[in-house]
Each structure stands twice: as C-alpha cells, then as structure tokens.
Structure 1
Amino acid sequence: MRGRTGKSAAVRFVRYRPVPATRGALALEPAAAPVRPPGLRLVRPEDGVEAEVRSVADAAVRLVVDILAGTRPAHQLSLVAVPTVCRELLHHTTARKHSAPTLRPTRIVPPKVLSNRLQRPAPTVAESVAVVVVAGRVHALALRLEHTRGRWRCTALETTAP
C-alpha cells in the first residue's frame, strides 16, 4: 500500500468511478448475471464423499434409534445395512417384545439423537458414534460403515440400549 498514514488495515477506501451513460429512462442499468461455463459448480468442503458418508451415517443412526424405540419396523434398516445386521436387530427387537408383559401401561417417550460423531479410519471405512435417548434413557450407539459395490452400508452395530 502506498502512502500509508497509520490508518487501520480493516478500512479500505475505493475511488469513485462515474457510471457510463445508460440507454433509456432508467438511471441504473441492470447488472448482467455472471456467466459460468456449463458443468461447473461451486464445491464446498462438505460436498463429495464426506457429505455422502455423513448423510448415510446420520440416516442409519436415526433408523436404529427408531427401531430400538419400537417406532419403526426393523426391516426398514435394510436400506442402509447388510442383511446380517438387519437379522440381528430384528431378532433383538422381537425377543424383547415377547419378554414378560408389563402390568401397567408405559409412557412412550420419542427417541432422540443427542450427538453424532464420524471418523474415517480408512478410505472405504467410516465409524459413527452417537449418544441417543431411547425410552427416556441415554445410551451409546456405534456403527461401522463400509463402502462396497458403490454404496455405504452398515456392517456392524453396537449399542448399550436393551
């Protein structure tokens, strides 16, 4: 910067440039939209593979929480999980339903995801850890996602929920 007079660098002065003559009665001519070549778009850091794996992990956590709470059938997990995980969770939820009946009606508390973290130990592996509320109690939930055949699928599931 030439001729610095000790003023703050946060303030910048811009010279006034006269507006060229306009056509018509308007004093301002509408600005033309910026032209972008076809096929190009703005890429944000959260776009791409990270956004895809995060959305699959969030959906899988939400599905598992709803299944554990009994508000969603277990077969819906097949959208994001391998068949062995679906079978184990289905077996777990049906065994819990056929356990000793309760004598008094219980209040249904909607499930909630309190926090969800994602890490990538390998390029084709992601692990998601979540703190969830199921039946009014706080539980931990861990999912392992693997990228196979062009899709992210949940291949392992651990939880402290009953």
Structure 2
Amino acid sequence: MVSGSDTGPAPAPRALEARLVPTLPPAARPAPSTGPGHTRPPTLEQRLLARRRATLAAERAARAAEPPRETAPMPDPTPVCCALALAATEALRGTRSVAQLARWVSPQVFEQLAARTALTVRVLGRTAATRRPEILRVRVCRLGEHIAEAAVVVDDGTRVRAIALRLEMWRGAWRAVAFEIG
C-alpha cells in the first residue's frame, strides 16, 4: 500500500488579481491639550536653555547689586624696562642666554635679539665679564594704560649703549614688542 498525498491532479495556479484600496484622507492630529496634566515634558535642550537663562539672569542681578569694582592700576613699567635692557646687554656680551628673555619679549623681538646676539658673539667673541652692565638713565613714557615706551642708556663696560623699547600689557604683565639696541 502506498501512502501519499497525491490523490489527484495538482490544482491550477490562480491568476494574480489586483485589489483596489480606497484612498482615505490623512488623519487629523489631535490638538495639544492645555490642561495641567496633559503637557509634554520639556526636552533636554529646552531644560538646558531654561537653566542657562536663569543663570544669566542671576548673574546680571548679582552684578547690578554689587558696587562697581575698581580695577587695579597697571604696575610701573620702569623696572621691567631696566631689567630687559640689562639682560639684552648681557646677552649681546655673551654672558647671558637669550632664551632667558623669551618670556618677556614678543616672538618677533626674540628672533631679532637671537640673530643679533649670535652675530655679535660670532664676530666679536664672548667678552670677559669685568663688571656687570649698569643703567645710566631711563626715560619711560606711558602712551596709554596698556602701552609704554622707554629709552634706556646702559654702560656695559666697553661702550655706552642706547636702547629703545616699546612695552605692551599682555596677560597681565609687560612684554616688549619693539626693541632697538644701539
């Protein structure tokens, strides 16, 4: 006995039929409720924006309540002028490294000083340090609250040099932005 599901001829394939679906208008969105329990919670961006606004408002209120602070007067540039003139003179003599001036001068001035020092030491050689250079005269002229120009006369033992420099306030300290050594 043969068991099988073939009991008769196979059914004929059905032809594909297209069914039409009726077109519906788009569903209307429900209006947002205005009641207390039916609001959407604020997004993270909305909460951050509200916090920033509150912080700024509190800072403005605190500033309005405080009396205006007086800014501290800028320090006198004369000691910086003298120290820079002495250090540059010592660098030209070869008794001080030019790298020690890097913090107190702009990058352009540092490059000029380094080139002049290298040339002077190469041509004249390092001079024996008989005595430390001394400042004979200093004239400082403040051109503004953050700008000063100075003329310094330095005796370095073998010659008397005139040094002109321009200082500008940079990050709370005086820094030379122009430097000429005679």
Using the size of structure 1 for normalisation, the TM-score is 0.59
Who is 2:154 aligned against? 132
Who is 1:112 aligned against? 134
Instruction: Please report how far the alpha carbon of residue 58 of structure 1 lies from its aligned counterpart in structure 2 after TM superposition.
Output: 2.3
* Cα distance change on mapping 1:99 and 1:66 into 2, 3 Å: closer
Unaligned runs of 5+ in 1: 1-46
> C-alpha deviations, 1:65-104, integer Å up to 9, x for none?
2212221111111121111111111111111222276xxx
Who is 1:141 aligned against? 163
- Equivalenced residues, count: 110
C-alpha distance in structure 2 between counterparts of 1:121 and 1:87, whole Å: 25
- The amino acid of 1:113's aligned partner reads I
What is the root-mean-square deviation of aligned Cα atoms in Å?
2.4
Who is 2:30 aligned against? none
- 1:8-157 mapped onto 2 (5 Å cutoff): 48-51=73-76, 53-99=77-123, 108-110=129-131, 111-157=133-179
Structure with the higher fraction of residues in strand conformation? 1
C-alpha distance in structure 1 between counterparts of 2:106 and 2:99, whole Å: 11
- The amino acid of 1:55's aligned partner reads P
* Cα distance change on mapping 1:126 and 1:59 into 2, 3 Å: same
Residues 86, 154 of structure 2: 8 Å contact kept: no
Using the size of structure 2 for normalisation, the TM-score is 0.53
* Cα distance change on mapping 1:152 and 1:140 into 2, 3 Å: same
C-alpha distance in structure 2 between counterparts of 1:85 and 1:136, whole Å: 24
* Cα distance change on mapping 1:93 and 1:135 into 2, 3 Å: farther
Post-superposition, which runs of at least 4 consecutive aligned residues in structure 1 deviate over 6 A? none
Residues 128, 144 of structure 1: 8 Å contact kept: yes
> C-alpha deviations, 1:40-84, integer Å up to 9, x for none?
xxxxxxx94243x22322221221122122211111111211111
Identity %: 32
Structure with the higher fraction of residues in helix conformation? 2
* Cα distance change on mapping 1:109 and 1:123 into 2, 3 Å: same
Unaligned runs of 5+ in 2: 1-71
C-alpha distance in structure 2 between counterparts of 1:83 and 1:67, whole Å: 16
* Cα distance change on mapping 1:73 and 1:107 into 2, 3 Å: closer
SS at match of 2:123: coil
Higher Rg of the two aligned structures: 2
